[in-house]
């Protein structure tokens, strides 16, 4: 009976632990896999680019152990590695021009549309629900002209997305601290673009970190505009580091607000780990967001 009580206390303590405390080898925690401890209300993902010291294989191993379902911002060549660990590509990327040279310039349209013509069927086959695009920078262009130009291209892309059952998403980014001059930097602009395109296969990536910097009012914005949001990213404000007590956002409340909308897509961690145990920070973030 004493041994049984001790064992139960040990299990309870392990379930309550947020940061992995086991030994680390090559950045991977060696504690047993415990994905069953997640509540199942959130489909967790993580952005690969934030873990530059881990290979995709290492990150996929950690994601599988922690209980994630997907990895964000990978290209089609990465699908086999994710398949190996039972993971999906929550977002596929690789669009020509990247963040700065996007759809708001007519001269960029043909190359970007050609990319989607090639990538959308591959994403559908690989089980990736979203392919990302960007507005591009203003570079002297007014926002109305940018809306018009983006809508022209997206109306050409939308029928392809509808055919293949993949959503094209444009990311909302802050132009104040990280992406100066980026055009799609307010929810209202992105929502207007969605309305002009008029397809359920074009929506927004609501990045909580970026929109906290530009607008605040995160929870009410999610409640009001959630039909326009196909994906969510996290990040600590200020600094874009861990989403723990060092930053200003109440992530459990934010994630609960997302869940309450009936959202069934992925929520991806996109903070840059400041701590030495980067994958321990990832596991901590998953526990914080697992409402």
For residue 28, pLDDT beyond 70:
no
Q: Which residue segments constitute the domains of the chain, with CATH numbers given? A: 2-289 (3.20.20.150)
Question: Can 171 be counted among the known catalytic residues?
Answer: yes
- Of 117, 171, 215, 283, the active-site residue reads 171
Active site residue 270: yes
Give the integer Cα–Cα distance in Å for 52 and 73. Answer: 13
Residue 226 burial by CB count (10 A; 0-12/13-18/19+): exposed, middle or buried? Answer: middle
pLDDT given for residue 236 in this prediction: 98
pTM comes to: 0.88
What pLDDT score does 37 carry? 85
Q: What is the pLDDT of residues 77-112, one digit of tens each?
A: 999 999 999 999 999 999 999 999 999 999 999 999
Q: Is the pLDDT of residue 195 over 60?
A: yes
Q: pLDDT per residue over 130-171, tens digit each?
A: 999 999 999 999 999 999 999 999 999 999 999 999 999 999
């Amino acid at each position: 009976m004493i041994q049984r009580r001790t064992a139960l206390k040990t299990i309870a303590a392990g379930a309550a632990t947020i940061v992995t405390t086991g030994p680390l080898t090559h950045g991977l925690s060696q504690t047993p896999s415990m994905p069953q401890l997640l509540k199942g209300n959130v489909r967790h993902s993580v952005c690969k680019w934030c873990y530059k010291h881990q290979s995709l294989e290492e990150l996929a191993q950690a994601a599988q152990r922690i209980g994630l379902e997907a990895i964000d911002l990978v290209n089609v060549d990465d699908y086999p590695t994710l398949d190996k660990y039972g993971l999906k590509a929550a977002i596929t990327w690789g669009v020509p021009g990247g963040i700065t040279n996007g759809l708001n310039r007519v001269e960029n349209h043909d190359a970007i549309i050609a990319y989607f013509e090639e990538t959308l069927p591959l994403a559908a086959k690989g089980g990736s629900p979203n392919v990302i695009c960007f507005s591009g920078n203003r570079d002297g262009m007014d926002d109305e002209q940018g809306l018009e130009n983006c809508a022209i291209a997206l109306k050409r892309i939308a029928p392809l997305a509808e055919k293949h059952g993949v959503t094209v998403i444009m990311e909302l980014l802050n132009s104040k601290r990280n992406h100066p001059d980026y055009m799609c930097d307010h929810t209202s602009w992105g929502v207007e673009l969605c309305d002009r395109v008029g397809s359920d296969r074009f929506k927004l990536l609501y990045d909580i970190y970026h929109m906290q910097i530009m607008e605040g009012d995160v929870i009410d914005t999610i409640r009001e505009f959630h039909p326009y949001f196909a994906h969510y990213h996290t990040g600590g404000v200020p600094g874009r580091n861990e989403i723990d007590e060092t930053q200003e956002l109440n992530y459990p409340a934010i994630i609960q607000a997302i869940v309450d909308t009936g959202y069934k897509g992925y929520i991806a961690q996109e903070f840059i780990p400041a701590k030495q145990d980067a994958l321990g920070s990832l596991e901590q973030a998953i526990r914080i967001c697992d409402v």
